[in-house]
Structure 1
Amino acid sequence: MRLASYEHEGARRCGAVEGEEVLPFPEGTGLLDIVGGAPVPATGAPVPLSSVRLLPPLEPPSVRDFVTFEEHVEGVRRSVSGQAGVPEAWYDAPTFYFTNPASLVGAHEDVPVPPGSSVLDYELEVAAVVGPPGGDLTPERAREHIFGYTVFNDWSARDLQSREMQVGLGPCKGKDAAATLGPWLVTADELEPYRDADGFLRLALTAEVNGEVVGSDLLSNMGWTFEEMLAHASRGTRVRTGDVLGSGTCGNGGCLAELWGRNGRQDPPPLAPGDTVTLTVEGIGTVSNTVVPGRRVPTVRGARRRPRERP
C-alpha cells in the first residue's frame, strides 16, 4: 500500500494511492495513527493525483539521518578535508545525527537557498518509518517495527556545514533549512520482493539535475540494513511511532560533494536558483524539487572574546 498526505481544495487530507489517483480517508484521519497500528479506514471517491499538492507523508517526532554508504563517506571526506579513505571509526557502528522534523517539504515543493549559503547540494537517500514503538531492539525484532519506506533528500548547505563542523559539533544550520520526504509512504510488505539474501533491499537509486543523470547506485550497497540501524537507534532508549531513519546518502553521485571530492573541483557546480533535482527510488517513487532564491535574514554576531575573569 502507498499512503500519502496531500492538500486538495484548501483542505489537508490523507489517503491511499492507486495508480494516478488517491483514495481519500475520512476527514480527520492522520497517517501517524495508521502507522501506529490504527485500522486502515474505508476510502472515498478517488481524486486525480494531478489535482493535489503532495505533502510530506507524516509529521515525524524525530528524524535520524545515518551515514551508511562507504563510497559516500570516502568521496565527501576527500571533498571536505582532502583526506583519503574512510575513518576506521565509521566501521564500528551506524552513525547518525538528529535533523529538523519541522523543515520537511513535499515531493514537488520549491526549496529556497538557505540564508548565507552559496554551495547548496542534494543528498539521495531512502528513509524507513517506525511503526510500533520499542527499545533495545535486536535486528531480528526491529523488522517488525518498520512500517514502511519513502524517498528522502537531505538538502545540504556545504559552505555552512564545513565551517560550523570545525567546532567539532554539528551539523546544524548547514542541514537545517529543508529535507524532502515523499512522494508517499510505501508499506514494508511492498518492498519485500526486493530483499536480497543478506537482508538488504536491492533498489535502484537515480539522481538527476535539470534532467541529466548525475548519480546512480543500489540501496543494497549500504553498510548496515535498516533493521540494524533501527536496533542501534533503540539501544539504551526508545524509538517512537513515526520516527524517520534516513539511510544516509548513496554513493556514485548520490550528492555533488562526493563528486567534487573525486574530481578535485566543484564539477558539477553547486545548485542554484532554477535548478531542478529529481530523485527516483525503484519500488517507491520520484520526488522533484526546484531551487529558488532564499530569504534575506539577519545574522547573529560573532562571539565576543573575553578575558577569563573569575569571582
Structure 2
Amino acid sequence: MKLATYLDHADTSSTSVGVVQNHRVHRIADVRSMRDLIALGLDAALAAGERALVQPGTDLDQVRLLPPLEPASIRDFVAFEEHVEGVRRSIDGAAGVVDAWYDAPTFYFTNPHAIVGPDAEVAFPARSLARDFELEVAVIVGGEGRSLNSDEASQAIFGYTILNDWSARDLQSREMQVGLGPAKGKDFATSLGPWIVTADQLKPYRDPDGFLALECVVDVNGARVGHDLLSNMGWTFESMIAYASRDSRVVAGDVLGSGTTGNGGCLAELWGLNGRQDPPPLRDGDTVTITVQGIGTLTNTITTAPPAPELPTFRRPARQRNLRTTA
C-alpha cells in the first residue's frame, strides 16, 4: 500500500493522509497525520487504508504531494562500501575505507525540521558551490523499543520511502576537519517521498540474505548519473534499526536512511574516482530525479537560499580560572 500526505487543490486549509492507487488518492478518515497513522501499527494502518479505498478518490493531478511524514528523528547511515571509498577520496583526499567502518552500520543525525517533499525546490546555502545529491532509501520505524534484536527490529518496520540527502560538499569538507559533523553541509534540506510503501509490499524483493533487491537510479536534467541495486548494502535495514536502538530508543515515525548507493549514487563519489568535479556540481534550475523500483520517483529542483547573516568572529578568551568579584 502507498500512503501519502497531501493538500487537495480544492481545499488547501488542511493536509490529508491517504492511499494512492491507480493515480488516485483516497483519504483516510479520522487520521490527523501520517505519524498518527504509523503509531496505530502496520496492521491497523493497512485496515484503515482498505476502508479508504472503498470511498471515491481524488486524481493525483488535483492534489499536491507533501513530504509523507514529519519524522520523529532522522538517522542517516552509510551502508554502501563503494560510496564510502569514493566520497572519502573526494572529501578527505584519502584512499580506502577505514577499518572502523566495518564494525557497525555507522550513522549521523540530521535535521527533521528541514524536510522537503516531491516536486519542491531545494534551496542550497548561498555559500556553497559544490552542491550534490545522495540517492538513498529510508525505512520508517513503526514501533518503539530499546536494544532490539534483529527479529524485533524486523517487526518494527512500517514501510519505506525514497530519501535524498542533499549535500553542500565544500561546507562539509571544511567543517569535518574539526572531527565532528557533517553539520551545515547537510542540515539545510532532506527530501522524502513521494509516499511511504508499506513493508508488506516489498517482501517479494527480498533476497535470501534479507536485503531488498531494488533497482535504484538517479538522473540530472534527464541524463543518467547513477545506477545501483539496494541489495549492495553492507547491512540490512533490520540491522540498522537494531543498532540505532542499542542502549538507546527508537520510536514510531523515526526515519533511517540507507546511506548513498554506489556507482554514481552521488556526484562526490564520481569526483573522487575521476579526480575532478566531473560531472559538475548542481546549479540553480537543475532537476534531480531518483527512481527506486517498487517505491516510485522523487524529483526536486535546485535553487539558492538568500545569503545568511555573518557570524561574529571567534573571541580568544583570556582563560581565567577563577572568578574575580568586587564587593
- TM-score by length of structure 2 reads 0.93
Partner of 2:24: 21
Structure 1 residue 302, shift from structure 2 partner: 2.9
Q: Is the contact made by 2:92 and 2:173 (CA closer than 8 Å) also made in structure 1? A: no
Distance in 1 (CA, whole Å) between partners of 2:316 and 2:57 is 62
Distance in 2 (CA, whole Å) between partners of 1:282 and 1:143 is 21
1:96 has 2:107 as partner: yes
Partner of 1:214: 225
Q: Is the contact made by 1:150 and 1:184 (CA closer than 8 Å) also made in structure 2? A: yes
SS of corresponding position for 1:32 = helix
Amino acid at match of 2:283: A
Partner of 2:79: 68
After the TM superposition, which of the residue ranges 94-103 and 108-117 deviates more from structure 2? 108-117
1:85 has 2:96 as partner: yes
SS of corresponding position for 1:79 = helix
The number of equivalent residue pairs is 311
SS of corresponding position for 1:86 = coil
SS of corresponding position for 2:69 = coil
Q: Is the contact made by 1:13 and 1:27 (CA closer than 8 Å) also made in structure 2? A: no
Distance in 2 (CA, whole Å) between partners of 1:188 and 1:272 is 36
Q: Is the contact made by 1:113 and 1:294 (CA closer than 8 Å) also made in structure 2? A: yes
Alignment partner of 1:146 out of 144, 157, 163: 157
Partner of 2:325: none
Alignment partner of 1:190 out of 189, 196, 201: 201
After the TM superposition, which of the residue ranges 123-132 and 2-11 deviates more from structure 2? 2-11
Amino acid at match of 2:136: E
1:171 has 2:174 as partner: no
After the TM superposition, which of the residue ranges 143-152 and 285-294 deviates more from structure 2? 285-294
Distance in 2 (CA, whole Å) between partners of 1:221 and 1:187 is 21
- TM-score by length of structure 1 reads 0.97
Partner of 1:5: 5
Amino acid at match of 2:212: L
Unmatched runs of 5 consecutive residues or more in structure 2: 323-327
Cα deviation per residue 1:122-156 (whole Å; 9 max; x = unaligned)? 00000000001111111122110000000000001
Distance in 2 (CA, whole Å) between partners of 1:27 and 1:133 is 23
Distance in 2 (CA, whole Å) between partners of 1:303 and 1:281 is 45
SS of corresponding position for 2:185 = helix
Structure 1 residue 227, shift from structure 2 partner: 0.3
Cα deviation per residue 1:259-286 (whole Å; 9 max; x = unaligned)? 0000000011110101000000000000
SS of corresponding position for 2:208 = coil
Q: How does 1:226-305 map to 2 (within 5 A)?
A: 226-305=237-316
SS of corresponding position for 1:265 = coil
Structure 1 residue 249, shift from structure 2 partner: 0.4
Distance in 2 (CA, whole Å) between partners of 1:81 and 1:161 is 10
Structure 1 residue 28, shift from structure 2 partner: 4.6
Structure 1 residue 195, shift from structure 2 partner: 0.2
Identity of aligned residues (%): 59
1:122 has 2:133 as partner: yes
SS of corresponding position for 1:74 = helix
Unmatched runs of 5 consecutive residues or more in structure 1: none
Cα deviation per residue 1:228-251 (whole Å; 9 max; x = unaligned)? 010000001110000000000000
Structure 1 residue 82, shift from structure 2 partner: 1.6
Larger Rg: 2
Structure 1 residue 45, shift from structure 2 partner: 2.2
Distance in 1 (CA, whole Å) between partners of 2:34 and 2:173 is 36
Distance in 2 (CA, whole Å) between partners of 1:105 and 1:181 is 6
Amino acid at match of 1:16: V
Structure 1 residue 27, shift from structure 2 partner: 5.7
